[in-house]
């Protein structure tokens, strides 16, 4: 992988749920540019937050057959562009010359593409989307690659979509989050959030809860949030889009998918809880600044920690 901010002059704009260029290996590499990258490139005023320290937050991950543009969300300006979008999330596709680098496995790109198609369908309800992604990687992991396409196409049919929604609703009362997220609240990476902040006592109280206590408190927390439910969902959806693009979720092998899914759940729940403890009149820009600052603080803490913690923090997942 390498990182630069080269422009794509052969861009072919296409929505996330549009048709994709066939994945081919050879003299060209497919280039995916999420819209938050495009907006960051257009809005080039300097940011000097601790997360970027005046450097560009733009990132570029390169393989022989693929280039993925992204950004460092611990920069406040990048976090604002990623989280505050009110329109649909999109990706621009183009091609670039292949370089002498290791190849991104075609199956990894294929799975990432399919997860983004599920995102396009279920993005209005991020916790439902998480549920669908979890089921998809579990069921796809038991199939040979040629059967995974049929599974996805089946799920995209209206009646199958409704069955997924019904199954999600029929889950036991609670947050909707999988246990993979709820069982490790004390490990939430946003624990370093804004030391000295007035919201910290509430945050610490949540971190001490066990799964049952959080499930019981969930509705009360939802009602106390300073953001409307629709605003919360859009921010969470924007964050999921970033995670799917940035980490090339779900990863390179079925054995890795489950771990990466658990990490995705924990990160989304962290942001969700952050939104729930915000007081009224707290704007979306303030949310993104707070998230960037907390991720930066988590990074500082992580890089002072064990090699395992460092590895867990680094992304993308390859």
* Residues near Zn ion, by CB under 5 A: 47, 49, 51-52, 75-77
| Nearest distance in Å: CB 314, Zn ion | 19
| Nearest distance in Å: CB 289, Zn ion | 10
- The candidate with the shortest Cα–Cα distance to 267, out of 180, 173, 174, is 180
Tell me if 291 sits within 8 A of 192, measured CB to CB: no
Query: Closer CB to Zn ion, residue 41 or residue 202?
Result: 41
Query: Closer CB to Zn ion, residue 77 or residue 246?
Result: 77
Query: Closer CB to Zn ion, residue 4 or residue 210?
Result: 4
| Nearest distance in Å: CB 43, Zn ion | 12
DSSP state of 22: P
Query: Closer CB to Zn ion, residue 79 or residue 214?
Result: 79
Query: Closer CB to Zn ion, residue 4 or residue 216?
Result: 4
Q: Which residues pair with 12 in a beta bridge?
A: 93
Phi–psi pair at 283, nearest 5 degrees: -80, 165
Q: CA-to-CA distance for 314 and 75, rounded, in angstroms?
A: 15
Query: Closer CB to Zn ion, residue 37 or residue 276?
Result: 37
| Nearest distance in Å: CB 49, Zn ion | 4
* Cβ contacts of 33 within 8 Å, gap of 6 or more: 8, 11, 69, 91, 92, 93, 94
| Nearest distance in Å: CB 3, Zn ion | 16
CA 238, 242, 248, 254 torsion-angle sign: negative
| Nearest distance in Å: CB 295, Zn ion | 11
Tell me if 131 sits within 8 A of 168, measured CB to CB: yes
Tell me if 190 sits within 8 A of 233, measured CB to CB: no
Tell me if 290 sits within 8 A of 193, measured CB to CB: yes
């Amino acid at each position: 992988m390498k990182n630069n901010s080269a422009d794509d002059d052969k861009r072919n704009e296409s929505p996330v749920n549009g048709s994709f260029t066939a994945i081919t290996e050879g003299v060209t590499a497919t280039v995916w540019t999420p819209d938050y990258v495009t907006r960051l490139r257009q809005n080039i005023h300097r940011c000097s937050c601790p997360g970027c320290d005046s450097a560009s937050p733009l990132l570029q991950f390169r393989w022989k057959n693929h280039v993925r543009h992204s950004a460092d969300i611990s920069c406040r300006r990048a976090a604002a562009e990623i989280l505050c979008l009110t329109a649909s999330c999109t990706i621009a596709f183009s091609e670039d010359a292949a370089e002498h680098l290791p190849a991104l496995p075609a199956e990894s790109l294929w799975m990432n593409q399919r997860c983004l198609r599920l995102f396009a369908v279920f993005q209005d309800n991020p916790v439902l989307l998480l549920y669908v992604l979890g089921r998809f990687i579990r069921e796809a992991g038991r199939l040979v690659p040629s059967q995974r396409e049929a599974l996805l196409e089946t799920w995209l049919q209206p009646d199958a979509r409704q069955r997924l929604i019904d199954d999600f609703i029929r889950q036991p009362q609670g947050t909707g989050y999988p246990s993979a997220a709820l069982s490790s609240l004390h490990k939430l990476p946003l624990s370093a959030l804004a030391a000295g902040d007035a919201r910290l006592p509430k945050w610490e109280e949540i971190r001490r809860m066990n799964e049952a206590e959080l499930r019981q408190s969930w509705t009360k927390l939802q009602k106390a949030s300073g953001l409307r439910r629709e605003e919360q969902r859009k921010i969470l959806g924007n964050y999921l889009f970033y995670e799917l693009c940035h980490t090339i979720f779900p990863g390179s092998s079925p054995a890795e998918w489950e771990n990466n899914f658990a990490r995705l759940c924990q990160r989304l729940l962290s942001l969700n809880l952050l939104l729930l403890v915000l007081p009224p009149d707290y704007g979306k820009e303030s949310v993104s600044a707070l998230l960037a600052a907390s991720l930066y603080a988590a990074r500082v803490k992580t890089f002072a920690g064990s090699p395992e913690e460092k590895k867990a923090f680094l992304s993308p997942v390859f």
